[in-house]
Amino acid sequence: MLSRAGLASRKQARALIRQGRVSVDGEVCRAADRRIEGEAVTLDGDPVESPLARVDFVMHKPVGVACSHDEREAPLVFDLLDEGLRRRSLKIAGRLDRETSGLLILTTDGDFIHRLTHPSRKVAKRYRVEYRGSLPEDAVERCRDGILLVGDDAPTRPAELELEGEGRATLVLREGRTHQVRRMFRAMGAMVTALHRDRVASLDLPPDLAPGALRPLAEDERALLLSESSL
């Protein structure tokens, strides 16, 4: 149970148990072969959630943190989690680069990640863009028709660009190439200065979720995320 919950390898879990750091229903358990069938398990006093229990979270990613487990890229999104959540095998469904803020989904459900991120699903993601420079008169049409980016073999999928005044725009993508929004604007002669993702599928970033905060994803919110992921 400890290893499947992502807290330790099987060898490390046996050591934790021998050290008396694991309790079952309030009593220290030193038997590594003890079967767990619904009992309350704690490690160092912290509850251990069943590895079979799916957990999903929505986060408001702030600028300046990386969507990575690599400590060389710190500070990381996972540094914003409390210790108990850092022990879970949470993964990000659709990363954002360090300088992009906005809606992130963290989950232990690999199938959920696949349905949100696989290119064949064409899940829509909306970005609020601030940029410097001028876009061409046909920028909306170019995004709709697809842009061949430097280093890519195929043009981008049709995207929806809406201009919102000088230096501001909204872009809806249905794919997730590396730094795609920044590269598309660069190809059109402008430079992105701020980028924020505020919607994935039909789910908006909760307006009361502060930068750096997260909360459990409600079942109706999960349904919104999946509503466009079966295309």
Which active-site residues does the annotation give? 97
Question: What radius of gyration, in Å, describes the C-alpha atoms of the chain?
Answer: 21
* Cα angle 73, 94, 46; round to 5: 70
Long-range contacts from 180-187, C-beta under 8 angstroms, 24+ separation: 180/149, 180/156, 181/127, 181/129, 183/149, 183/150, 184/143, 184/147, 184/149, 184/156, 184/159, 185/129, 185/131, 185/135, 187/147, 187/148, 187/149, 187/150
Closest CA to 197 of 41, 72, 60, 20: 60
For residue 131, what are the CA distances in angstroms to 23, 47, 138? Answer: 55, 46, 17
Closest CA to 180 of 206, 204, 159: 159
